[in-house]
Amino acid sequence: MANLSPLMTIMQFAARKASRGLLRDFGEVEHLQISRKGPADFVSKADKKSEDVIVENLKRDRPGYGFLLEEGGEIKGTDKTHRFIIDPLDGTTNFLHGIPHFAISIALERTLEDKKEIVAGLVYNPITDEMFFAESGKGAFINDGTRGGADRRLRPSARDIFTDSLFATGIPFLGKTGHTKFLKELHQVMGACSGVRRNGSAALDLVWTAAGRFDGYWERDLKLWDIAAGVIIAREAGLHVESLSGGDVLDTCDVICTNERLMEPLRQRVG
């Protein structure tokens, strides 16, 4: 059982409060699918409402902290050493189409002597009521509300045979580059493993890998708010999380994540 710090307590409270609005709005999406225009505008407003709720609560409990927001951009704080990085709805396309696979992602970045690091993160799936979370040096956990609210330590897969492994990835969509490169990577991975999944949420892909549901994950051309929380959770669970292009993964935002045994064979196929 994890003992929640005051910081993680307020982060989880903000996520759960925002999730209530997302769940209500998700219930309306199905009714909007039949319209010719579709529910795109409605979902954009749901995304922004979720972000506003999270910011309002975190500002109240940590006044002075800055923010990096998917919707609202950067908000400078009087405290120059701390910044929340927030994706209020990771998996927007799933939400838009009534697919129940999306998450709220909140991370806290600390800057000391010009060195930045993520010190806390959570990824919350409102549909399943699963809260994945970690703080630096404390391990990674899941709180599954459907199982009585008990915290359990995340245990990644120890699988070491590539042909038996299941991987997750993201597919470049309209407006993104790298389609040809991705198809080459996919061909090289899918022909040598048990399977590849594309579920539409980078945050959930990372924490599902931390939970052992996937054996590894890779994706390019992401944003910091897509992965900041998931990276610390995966690392605290014991996984190797690296950049596909070299350097710091939080700078490049292209990620490869798996256990020590599978890192080299996966990197050979997607590097």
The C-alpha atoms of residue 259 and residue 207 are separated, in whole angstroms, by 13
Average pLDDT over residues 134-158: 89
pLDDT at 186: 95
Q: What b-and-e string marks burial along 153-177, b requiring 16 or more CB atoms within 10 Å of the CB?
A: ebebbebeebeebbbbbbebeeeee
Q: Do 253 and 171 fall into the same domain?
A: yes
Predicted local distance difference test score (pLDDT) of residue 5 = 95
Q: How confident is the model at residue 147, as a pLDDT?
A: 60
Q: What is the pLDDT of residue 72?
A: 87
Task: Please give the pLDDT value at position 142.
Answer: 97
**Burial, 72: exposed, middle or buried (Cβ in 10 Å; 0-12, 13-18, 19+)?**
middle
**Does residue 10 sit in the same domain as residue 134?**
yes
Confidence of residue 174 (pLDDT cuts 50, 70, 90): confident
Please report the pLDDT score of residue 41 as a whole number: 80
Co-location of 85 and 172 in the same domain: no
The pLDDT, as a whole number, for residue 155 is 96
- Give me the mean pLDDT over the 182-209 stretch: 97
17/134 same-domain check: yes
Q: Average pLDDT in the 174-178 region? A: 81
In a domain, 1, yes or no: no
* Whether residue 195 is found in the same domain as residue 66: no
- pLDDT-derived band of residue 245, with 50, 70 and 90 as boundaries? very high
Judgement on whether residues 115 and 24 belong to the same structural domain of the protein: yes
Q: Which domain holds residue 72?
A: 6-153
Report DSSP letters for 54-78, one per residue: HHHHHHHHSTT-EEEETTTEEE--S
The per-residue pLDDT of the chain, averaged, comes to 93
What is the model's pLDDT at position 33?
Answer: 64
The terminus-to-terminus CA distance of the chain in angstroms comes to 38
One domain, residues 198 and 137: no
Q: Is residue 175 part of a domain?
A: yes
> Which pLDDT score, from 0 to 100, does residue 32 have?
73
Summarize pLDDT for 105-126 with one digit per residue, the tens: 999 999 998 889 999 999 999 9
Is pLDDT of 171 > 60? yes
Predicted pLDDT at 146: 65
Report yes or no: 151 and 132 within 8 Å, Cβ to Cβ. no
Is residue 86 in some structural domain?
Answer: yes
Q: How far is CA 20 from CA 14, 108, 196, in A?
A: 10, 22, 32
Looking up residue 200, the CATH number of its domain turns out to be: 3.40.190.80
Are 82 and 167 contained in the same domain? no
Q: Is residue 50 part of a domain?
A: yes
- Give the pLDDT confidence score for residue 143 in this predicted structure: 93
For residue 148, name the pLDDT band (cuts at 50, 70, 90). Answer: low
pLDDT greater than 60 at residue 36:
no
Domains in the chain, number: 2
The reported pTM is: 0.94
Under 8 Å between Cβ of 49 and 97 = no
**Residue 212 is assigned to a structural domain of this protein:** yes
Q: What is the pLDDT of residue 28?
A: 87
Output the CA–CA distances (angstroms, integers) from residue 101 to 14, 48, 86, 89, 115, in the order listed.
Answer: 20, 18, 18, 10, 34
Task: Compute the half-sphere exposure of residue 111: CA atoms within 13 Å on the CB side of its CA.
Answer: 10
Among candidate residues 123, 153, 183, the one where a domain is terminated: 153
> Encoding tokens for residue 185?
């990577």
Q: Are residues 61 and 10 in the same domain?
A: yes
Query: Do both 136 and 234 map to the same domain?
Result: no
Same domain, 144 and 27: yes
